[in-house]
Structure 1
Amino acid sequence: MRIISGKYKGRRISPPKGLPVRPTTDMSKEALFNVLNNHFSFEGLKILDLFAGTGNISYEFASRGCTPITSVDGDFGCVKFIKQVAAEYDFNIAATKSDVYTYLERCKTSYDIIFADPPYGFDQKTFEKIIELVFERDLLNSEGMMIIEHSKYTKLNHMIHFSFQKSYGGSIFSFFEITSGDDEEESEITEDKEEE
């Protein structure tokens, strides 16, 4: 696992064996951040990383100057490792051990970017619940973006505020934004993106 860009570009981070994780591949991560580069200047963005696992995505945001970053995971070993790396590199990352859905239900903070990488084995409704909670509770800033990583077997392009999706290998990133267009305009955008 390596940091692709920013202050710590090229730095390799080795998580301990045995963590219950499926880290985003370096290739997929690089493609994701190429998309985000076209939408954001990273310095000072407030980030929420859900199902953070090894902290792979959080470190990438931190290296690019995002701060503060909140990393949420239900596994003690993952949270402990993220805290260790954050301390070593002086990253402004707050690692929190919590069930993600409980965290979203109690959260009172809004974010510029929300990234979620749930286990691919979750069912459709469990993925949809993340989106519903984020928008019901106004957790995404008006110019912000939420990204969910999932497999091709999960379909999220019918959900509220869906904007577009990108496919890299076996991973799909679905992007959600708060838009001012009407439903018809949004569905046209969705169809165009699916045909690419």
Structure 2
Amino acid sequence: MRIVGGRHRGRTLAAPGGRDVRPTSDRTRQALFNILEHGDFFADEGPTLEGRVVLDAFCGTGALGLEALSRGAEAALFLDVSRASLDLARTNAATLKETGRCHFIQGDATKAPIARQAAGLAFLDPPYGQGLAPRALESLVVGGWLALEALCVVEIGGDDPFEAPPGFETLDERRYGDTRVLFLKRG
């Protein structure tokens, strides 16, 4: 697993053994960031990543948040219930010398703690087949994690049902093998 674009392009990230964490593939991550960089998702018409605070919920290795930092995001918030995942994300951030722009928070995204800062761009990559994404989106709003009009990129299993919670609009949906990627805007 590696960073696929930006100033850290080609740098290798540590990945866990076993099946507890399922990192987003390099190919899917490249496609997702191409869509973000070339899409028109924000009302301010600014670059999608440049200067934005991003949230990587269910962060696992931290690859999505670190990819965003590599491509110009200002800061990244990493949220995961697993201490081992947060330690891995922290290790990967240290490898890239990005820890100064990262905040690591242990917590359940479906019962999110109160945020220190709201993100304008959020990545949610929950375990497949458990219906966690809609609950997490609602909880992240309540906890103050998502700014108004935040763009949320949600990765779910290809066959997982998904209904956007109230206050979210689905802007786009893509399929990559057994993965669906949804682009939602918080109203």
For residues 101-158 of structure 1, the C-alpha deviation after alignment (integer angstroms, 9 at most, x for no partner) is: 232x522532110110000031x3x332122233455643334301110012223255
1:61 counterpart = 2:71: no
CA 58–141 in structure 1, closer or farther in 2 if over 3 Å, else same: same
The one of 123, 128, 131 equivalent to 2:134 is 128
Aligned residue runs from structure 1 range 1-196, under 5 A: 1-18=1-18, 20-38=20-38, 39=40, 40-91=47-98, 92-103=101-112, 105-107=113-115, 109-122=117-130, 124=131, 126-136=132-142, 139-160=145-166, 161=168, 162-178=170-186
The answer (yes or no) to whether the contact 2:109–2:140 under 8 Å persists in 1 is no
Cα deviation, residue 74, structure 1 = 1.5
Amino acid in the other structure paired with 1:102: K
Q: 3-state SS of the aligned residue for 2:69? A: helix
| TM-score (structure 2 length as normaliser) | 0.83
How far apart, CA to CA, are the structure 2 residues paired with 1:152 and 1:16?
23
Amino acid in the other structure paired with 2:124: A
CA 137–3 in structure 1, closer or farther in 2 if over 3 Å, else same: same
Q: Equivalent pairs: percent with the same residue? A: 27
The answer (yes or no) to whether the contact 1:72–1:95 under 8 Å persists in 2 is yes
How far apart, CA to CA, are the structure 1 residues paired with 2:153 and 2:74?
18
How far apart, CA to CA, are the structure 1 residues paired with 2:140 and 2:184?
10
The answer (yes or no) to whether the contact 2:129–2:160 under 8 Å persists in 1 is no
Amino acid in the other structure paired with 2:135: K
CA 97–139 in structure 1, closer or farther in 2 if over 3 Å, else same: closer
Number of residue pairs aligned between Structure 1 and Structure 2: 176
Gaps (5+ residues) in structure 2? 41-46
Relative to total residues, which structure has the larger helix share, 1 or 2? 1
The answer (yes or no) to whether the contact 2:60–2:88 under 8 Å persists in 1 is no
Amino acid in the other structure paired with 2:28: S
The answer (yes or no) to whether the contact 2:111–2:139 under 8 Å persists in 1 is no
The answer (yes or no) to whether the contact 2:124–2:133 under 8 Å persists in 1 is no
The answer (yes or no) to whether the contact 1:49–1:70 under 8 Å persists in 2 is yes
Which structure has the larger Rg over C-alpha atoms?
1
The answer (yes or no) to whether the contact 1:19–1:77 under 8 Å persists in 2 is no
The answer (yes or no) to whether the contact 2:119–2:146 under 8 Å persists in 1 is yes
Give every structure 1 segment of 4 or more consecutive aligned residues whose post-TM-superposition deviation is greater than 6 Å.
none
Cα deviation, residue 51, structure 1 = 0.5
Gaps (5+ residues) in structure 1? 180-196
| TM-score (structure 1 length as normaliser) | 0.80
Amino acid in the other structure paired with 1:96: I
